[in-house]
Amino acid sequence: MKKNLYLYLFVFALLLVIFQFVNSKNIIEKYETDINRLKDSTEELQGQITRLEDENLDLLYFNLENNDDALTYFERSGYDTSELIPFLKDELYKLNEVKGEHPLVPYASMTDNPMMINKVRLLNHKWIIADFSDGEYWGEMLLTYEITEEKKLKFKVAESLLYPPQN
């Protein structure tokens, strides 16, 4: 009887060890699969990050804040560029408050709303590109600007376009 009991205990222990081995092996395989999947996902996301960084650098190319030659031009003239860049943008946005037609937008509003400058990008020390709209019609314009010797800011519309309405 004692001999059979030891045999049963031995078989039970052997089955328990086999069960533990198979279960552990399945868990390890699952972890390895998850790790490989996460590594692939990480590599894909790293590739997307690199692509977005390159795209961001391309977008920053025509930007006064990243144009060393244009910044040097202003610094040689005695301007603090950290104050000048916001000043230029603010002066353009202040023109939105003028009563009547906008002094720079070469198109009259075709709705009850006035034409207003929405977005501005300073390209360099001479050019600005601006987006304008009246809420329904919109367009873009290329502006030239200069700061006179009397420290006055002058804007001039070089080119402009009005997009056709999209229904």
Q: Per-residue confidence of the chain (167 residues) as pLDDT tens digits?
A: 777 888 888 888 899 999 999 999 999 999 999 999 999 999 999 999 999 999 998 888 888 888 888 889 888 988 888 888 899 999 999 999 988 888 999 998 888 889 999 999 999 999 999 999 988 899 999 999 998 888 789 999 999 999 988 76
pLDDT score, position 112? 87
**What's the whole-model pTM score?**
0.70
**Residues 6 or more apart from 32 whose CB is under 8 A from it?**
none
Q: How far is CA 87 from CA 17, 75, 76, 80, 147, in A?
A: 77, 15, 18, 11, 12
pLDDT score, position 3? 75
pLDDT score, position 167? 65
Question: Do 98 and 115 touch, CB atoms closer than 8 A?
Answer: no
Sort strands 153-162 and 127-133 into parallel, antiparallel or unpaired.
Answer: unpaired
Read off the tokens for 106: 């070469």
Q: How far apart are CA 28 and CA 53, in angstroms?
A: 37
pLDDT score, position 161? 95
* 3-class state of residue 114 by DSSP: coil
Q: How far apart are CA 138 and CA 145, in angstroms?
A: 22
Report the phi/psi class of residue 5: left, alpha or beta, with left for phi > 0 and alpha for psi in -120 to 50. alpha
Q: How far apart are CA 9 and CA 3, in angstroms?
A: 10
Q: How far apart are CA 65 and CA 157, in angstroms?
A: 22
